[in-house]
Structures are given as structure tokens and as C-alpha cells.
Amino acid sequence: MPKKYIIRLTDQERTALTAVVKKLKGTSQKVRRAQVLLKADADGPNWTDTRIAEAFGCRTQTVENLRQRLVERGFQETLERVHREQPPVAKLLDGEQEARIIATRLGPPPSGYANWTLRLLARKVVELEIAESVSYETVRRILKKAA
């Protein structure tokens, strides 16, 4: 099957990748990506994906993904780790709501209770309409973060 994404590195890119490999500069993943890109270069060794995968201990799909990322996103983003702009799951509560939960926890517990429990606090948060719904695990994380 012919390769869909063909890599042709410039002299500057090839020099940067060689420096990363020789000095082992950066994370192990960065060094491996540099090694793979150097061997996949159409103007250089032009190894097959299978041979690259065997040489560097990764899957052929990893090599294909690196090729695709280089073509679509560029050299720098392929070599460096991609940082997410937003977390995969949005925060359930904002800072003001978290502060109100902590303040509630610092107050006296309801009558009939000696201490706040996480489940009791979660019910109180919903009762006080701080949040529409909240699990005791979310309350635990908020309190742990504040401690």
C-alpha cells in the first residue's frame, strides 16, 4: 500500500532532529519521534513504516500518525508535545461555588450531627442551591484541593 503522507525534511529540520538524537535532548518520546522522522524522510533513508516500527519498538500506526501530524500540523508541533487548550471535561463548579462549599464545611454541622460527612455536605450544597447537583466525590476533591 502506498504511503499517504510522504515526509520531505528541509536541511534545517534534519539538523534539528539530528541534534535531538545525538544529544538525547528532551524527553524519550521526543527523541523517538526525532529518530522516526529521520528514518521516514523521503530524501534520506526512506525506510518503510514496518522497518521503522521494528527498529524503534513502536507500532506502525505510530509511524503513520507521526507522518500525518508532520504534514498537517507542522514540524514544531510534531516534535514537541501537544498541549491541550482546554481540559477534556469542563469543570463542574466555578471558584465562587467552591469557596461557598468550603465555607459551608467550616461552619457548624446541622443539628443531630457531630461532624460534616461528604454525603451530608453534598446534600447541603444542593439544598442551599450552590449547585444544581453535585456528588460527594466532587465535594471531596474540592476539600482536598483546599486543604
What are the pLDDT digits (tens) for 27-86? 999 999 999 999 999 998 999 999 999 999 999 999 999 999 999 999 999 999 878 888
What are the pLDDT digits (tens) for 7-28? 999 999 999 999 999 999 889 9
Residue 130 lies in a domain: yes
Structural domain count of the chain: 2
Residue 49 lies in a domain: yes
| Three-state secondary structure of the chain | CCCCCCECCCHHHHHHHHHHHHHCCCCHHHHHHHHHHHHHECCCCCCCHHHHHHHHCCCHHHHHHHHHHHHHHCHHHHHCCCCCCCCCCCCCCCHHHHHHHHHHHHCCCCCCCCCCCHHHHHHHHHHCCCCCCCCHHHHHHHHHHHC
Domain that holds residue 56: 11-79
Residue 113 lies in a domain: yes
